[in-house]
Amino acid sequence: MDSHISPVDLPKAYRLINHGPTVLVSACHAGVDNVMAAAWACALDFAPPKLTVVLDKSSKTRELIERSGAFVIQVPTVAQLRLTNTVGTLSLSTEPDKLKKSGVELFGMAGLDLPFVAGCSAWLACKLIPEQHNQQTYDLFIGEVVGAWADERVFSDGRWHFEDADPALRSLHHVAGGHFYAIGEPVSFGD
Amino acid sequence: MDSHISPVDLPKAYRLINHGPTVLVSACHAGVDNVMAAAWACALDFAPPKLTVVLDKSSKTRELIERSGAFVIQVPTVAQLRLTNTVGTLSLSTEPDKLKKSGVELFGMAGLDLPFVAGCSAWLACKLIPEQHNQQTYDLFIGEVVGAWADERVFSDGRWHFEDADPALRSLHHVAGGHFYAIGEPVSFGD
């Protein structure tokens, strides 16, 4: 496990995705791990923290989440651009070695039977709140965040510090077709 | 109406918010207009385009949306930082001149009884898809996008062009407490 990972207080977990990054969604069931990319993930509540994520019916990760009732949302970095794009385009259904091809390295967290993607800047372990109507009608899944961690080189004291960290640790914001923007510079009210 | 505003094809409307900007939500009912800021807005579907937005029960804008069944999601710019922060902190319930104090200027679009905020970079006119369980339990609202427009100086041919536009037109990404990041530089798979 990466030595830079620190726990994040749950009431501040929403801040890890409040700025709208593209995320990686990971899950496992019956010995099968998978990871996908998702631009459509969003905070939903502060305490207990909840979030939404849109998961297409064709995605293998969705099936693992429906079966296991749990998943991880993690924030990939500029250094993981290729990984993010690759897990977002290959499917485990047709590419059994998808994770290897994508360069994904997984690690575990004590007490949680969930796959975490190494090298990300933040991780939110989620328990699925089953809502069949949303899942079937809108592909919309709701999770309660039960654990949160961040790379302390870029998120500490409840705050992102992109401007003081290695630019390779900036978050990715997908537009379309493999084109992303990195998060930019801070602007604050009163500047 | 701003002369730089061009319509966006509905199947590409999701791209206006795909990179996770903080948005302004506006609505009107019975002669009352309001505008609020929301970091928790997210694309939900491509065609017809849909989106989600989280609206707290205390917000006056939510009440206007529940009564009128319609709203606008718009993408504010770095130049609108003070406006965005102010409409996100003042409430119309206690500050009847909130919009004036915030420097909000509204305009209309032909055929739509909705207030649009001038100076934004993109606008998505939405029809509420009523989902009482989501609205009551999660403060989660679903809208179908029925019209989309963008400032062609920063979004054209279905693409954002932040890197070639005035930096004052970049999108805002709220972290917490009035601290935002502007969207940064493009990074593409293959770079």
Provide, as residue numbers in chain A, all residues whose Cβ is less than 8 Å from the Cβ of B191: 81
Cβ–Cβ of B20/A21 closer than 8 Å?
A: yes
Element (H, E) at A125: strand A122-129
* Interchain CB distance below 8 Å, A183 and B178: no
pLDDT at B3: 76
Distance of CA A100 to CAs A35, A106, A107, A183, Å? 11, 10, 14, 27
**pLDDT score recorded for residue B187:** 95
Q: Is B190's pLDDT higher than 70?
A: no
Strand partners, B43: B51
Domain coordinates in residue numbering, chain B: 5-182
Mean pLDDT confidence for B32-53: 97
Q: From its phi and psi, is residue A158 left (phi > 0), alpha (psi between -120 and 50) or beta?
A: left
What does the pLDDT look like over B162-179, one tens digit per residue? 999 999 999 999 999 889
* Segment among A58-72, A82-96, B30-44, B129-143 with least mean pLDDT: A82-96
Alpha-carbon span B105 to B118, nearest angstrom: 6
Q: Which residues pair with B54 in a beta bridge?
A: B140
pLDDT tens-digit readout, B53-111: 999 999 999 999 999 999 999 999 999 999 999 999 999 989 999 999 999 999 999 99
The Cα B135–Cα B36 span in angstroms is 17
| Closest Cβ opposite residue B179 in set A50, A78, A186 | A186
The whole-number pLDDT of residue A189 equals: 67
pLDDT grade, residue B188 (50/70/90)?
A: confident
DSSP label at residue A121: S
Give the CATH number of domain B5-182.
2.30.110.10
- For chain B, give the secondary structure using H, E and C: CCCCEEECCHHHHHHHCCCCCCEEEEEEECCEEEEEEECCEEEEEECCEEEEEECCCCCHHHHHHHHHCEEEEEECEHHHHHHHHHHCCCCCCCCCCHHHHHCCCEEEECCEEEEEECCCCEEEEEEEECCHHHHHHHCEEEEEEEEEEEECCCEECCEECHHHCCHHHCEEEEEECCEEEEEEEEEECCC
Chain B residue numbers touching A142 (CB-CB < 8 A): 138
The rounded distance, in Å, linking the Cα atoms of A40 and B19 is: 9
Note the ipTM here: 0.96
User: Taking a C-beta distance cutoff of 8 angstroms, is the pair A15, A158 a contact?
Assistant: yes
Look at residues A145, A165, A143, A170 and name the one whose alpha carbon lies nearest to residue A153: A165
Q: For residue B1, is pLDDT > 90?
A: no
Q: What is the pTM of this model?
A: 0.96
Q: What percent of chain B has pLDDT over 90?
A: 94
pLDDT (0 to 100) of residue B2: 59
B80/A contact by beta carbon, under 8 A: no
Dump pLDDT digits (tens) for B116-125. 999 999 999 9
pLDDT score at B52: 98
For A84, the token pair is 């993010």
Per-residue pLDDT at A43 = 98
Q: Number of residue pairs across A and B with CB atoms under 8 Å?
A: 157
Per-residue confidence (pLDDT) for residue B189, from 0 to 100: 67
Judging contacts by C-beta atoms under 8 Å, the chain B residues touching residue A16 are none
Measured between beta carbons, the chain B residues lying within 8 angstroms of A159 are 175-176, 179
Interface probe for B, chosen from A8, A15, A42, A188 (most Cβ of B below 10 Å), is A42
Query: What was the pLDDT predicted at A188?
Result: 81
Residues of chain A with pLDDT under 50: 191
Q: Cβ of A157: how many Cβ atoms within 10 Å?
A: 7
User: Alpha-carbon distance A31 to A115, whole Å?
Assistant: 11
- B27 beta partners: B34
Asked if the model's pLDDT at residue B191 lies above 60, the reply is: no
Kind plus residue range of the DSSP H or E element containing A53: strand A49-54
